[in-house]
Amino acid sequence: MGELTRQGVEMGAYLAELLVIEDDHVLSAQLGELLRLQGYAVRLSPLGESGLAMALASAPDLVLLDVMLPDVSGFSVLRRLREQQQTPVIMLTACVPRRNVSEACVTARMTTLPNPST
């Protein structure tokens, strides 16, 4: 895990470098493969701490960050990332109370778009 791969595109030619911090191995692998096939370089981390270290060591163009991770909350990772860099982050979650979404917005100085299905 964490290895930068560029399958489906010429070596060195990719649209952007993405970091997926997601503990669900099936979902992480599926996201990684889908993004690689679309021309993105993708690094994967199943833990918040290791994902944060990867982001800080080599800033990706975008982070896809799970809210509920086994070692630390995605909100904590986001807060600590924001202390050092402004890499764009998309939070991934299946179920988060509205107050937690508000916390993410304050932490990241961002806004949200409502999900039309809710």
Cα–Cα distance measured from residue 61 to residue 77, given in angstroms and rounded to the nearest whole number: 16
Q: Are 64 and 28 in contact (CB under 8 A)?
A: no
The helix or strand, by DSSP H or E, that contains position 43, with its residue range, turns out to be strand 41-45
pLDDT beyond 80 at 72:
yes
pLDDT beyond 90 at 39:
yes
pLDDT beyond 60 at 103:
yes
pLDDT band at 1 (very low <50, low <70, confident <90, very high): very low
Domains of the chain: 17-108 (3.40.50.2300)
